[in-house]
Amino acid sequence: MKTALIYSRVSTEEQAEEGKSFETQIKLCKKWAKDNDYQIQETYIDRGKSATTLNRPALQDLLAKCKDDIGIDAILVQDTDRLARNTLDHLTIKAILKKKKINIISVSQPMLDDSPEGNLIDTILASVNAFQSQITGRKVSKVLEEKAKMGWYPGGRPPLGYKNSENPNPTSTLDKRIVVFDPETSPYLKQMFEKYSTNSYSAQKLADWLNSKGVKSVNGGLLSHSTVHNYLSDTFYIGKFLWNDKEYVGKHEKLIDKELFNKVQELLCERNQNASRKRIHNFLLSGFVYCADCKSRFWAEKHTKKNNDTYEHYYCSKCKTGTYTDVGKLEKAVENIFQKIELSKEYTKKIMDSALAMIKDLRENTDIERRKLNIKKTQLEKALKELEDQRFVYKTINDEKYLSISARYEGDIKQIEIDLGRLTVDKSEKIKKLDKLLRLAENIGLAYKEAKPSLKRIYLKMFFEKFEVSKGKIVKYHLSKDIKELIENGSVRVKTTGLPL
Ligand SMILES: [Zn+2]
């Protein structure tokens, strides 16, 4: 039997409302638990608390319990709005609990519970969430963009051969830390370019040479041929740098001249012509492809031929001979299978509705945040005025103190102004992106095709358990448990052409 905790919340206004009492909530949860074979271990109640804050005693107790206890399978709530004020918060809590393999089940809202429907929506929303963390990253970068415009690399560690250092003559807070040569590694990096330009060294040979000289990667490890490859084509060494996909002319010193750099680029290009595309991720289908004959898992490998060409293939680790299949070919075949998956109209609508709810949340939250920022700004402006009075009217503080405090206030006000500007941009960008993603949800095949590798893996996991491969072709596919259920209830359809299930 599975174990569950019940969470129930009533706000002050709701206490009088019928059907919202915690007795009703708990009753519904208990009934659901009984019907679905769950044993209730404990019940948590927040009385007179609103969902706009996660700082609720019972909720905190519950989350603490989940963190320590390993025997809990689910949290039962009557409705998701008991737990969080919006879908995003809900999904966040859900993601936290998921790490502990605990599901949130809202007993009167099958859409967001751990049903196959809920999981598919999560999968689609995963791309929205991924997008949102990008946005958060950009917020930070807006401030750093100013630094980039000044000509100073605003990133973390500069590439090998350089290091961050205190600027002895800073002009503002932005150029307090600047990039300078690292005397220990820069001479070797320079030689690396020179050696490569003679066309008698491969990237691997250079990596070996650098390792033999004790040159460590920025993370302190051994250098690999791909790292060396990246350095060889990095314009940082000729005084430029990339920041947010834009190239800037840097103020840091050039390690090599443009002529040498261009020569190296030509050679890289020649050697690369037949090489396969760069693979940042691991092999996409790892863990999903199996041998149709012996049922063993396929492995993936990258080979470099004598002429430096590389090719990649999947193959059966047992049968080996006759199972080698080109990576691109097999991945394309999987893409084609995704084209066969269709969501029913009703189900697509359900997803659309939950997206609309998210957009509504987003609007409301943006308004709330804007109001909060404006209040903070007003407070700071008031404090600044009082400070001025203290200095110039009442003369209760000295110049030094006045300057240091007012600089801090002014900095905070400037940051709020930046945040306010960003809010509007973020909102419209999020909505645009959400809209686009949902269009893709209408067409899973396209969504898969256009997804980045990491998201492709999420889609793969959602839809498939595995693919069986024989003689370079997918001869059978196994759908995931969730999708099988969705097919049974008519939410999802797989166009059957040829392949047996
Ligand atoms: Zn085999």
Q: What is the mean pLDDT of the segment spanning 72-86?
A: 79
pLDDT over threshold 70, residue 131: no
Reference 115, options 100, 94, 129; nearest CA is: 94
Q: pLDDT by residue (tens digit) across 365-379?
A: 778 878 888 998 999
Phi and psi for 489 in degrees, rounded to 5? -90, 10
For residue 290, name the pLDDT band (cuts at 50, 70, 90): very high
- Distance of CA 427 from the midpoint of ligand 1 (Å): 51
pLDDT over threshold 60, residue 67: yes
Q: What is the mean pLDDT of the segment spanning 85-98?
A: 67
The CA distance from 119 to 112, in Å, is 8
More confident residue, 357 or 322: 322
Q: pLDDT by residue (tens digit) across 383-432?
A: 999 999 998 888 898 988 888 888 888 888 888 887 787 777 767 766 76
Q: pLDDT by residue (tens digit) across 428-455?
A: 766 766 676 676 677 888 888 887 787 7
The CA distance from 429 to 422, in Å, is 10
The CA distance from 75 to 102, in Å, is 7
- Distance of CA 471 from the midpoint of ligand 1 (Å): 10
The CA distance from 46 to 12, in Å, is 10
Q: What is the mean pLDDT of the segment spanning 344-352?
A: 77
- Distance of CA 293 from the midpoint of ligand 1 (Å): 5
Instruction: Report which residue type is found at 446.
Output: L
For residue 52, name the pLDDT band (cuts at 50, 70, 90): low
| CB-based contact 161:181 (threshold 8 Å) | yes
- Between the alpha carbon of residue 218 and those of residues 23, 151, 185, the distances in Å are 59, 22, 10
- Distance of CA 101 from the midpoint of ligand 1 (Å): 33
- Distance of CA 336 from the midpoint of ligand 1 (Å): 23
pLDDT over threshold 50, residue 313: yes
pTM of the predicted structure, to 2 decimals: 0.44
3-state SS string over 374-401?
Answer: HHHHHHHHHHHHHHHHHHHHCCCCCHHH
Query: Among the ranges 216-230, 346-360, 384-398, which has the highest mean pLDDT value?
Result: 384-398
Computed over every residue of the chain, the mean pLDDT equals 81
For residue 279, name the pLDDT band (cuts at 50, 70, 90): very low
pLDDT over threshold 50, residue 97: yes
Given this model, what pLDDT does residue 6 score?
A: 95
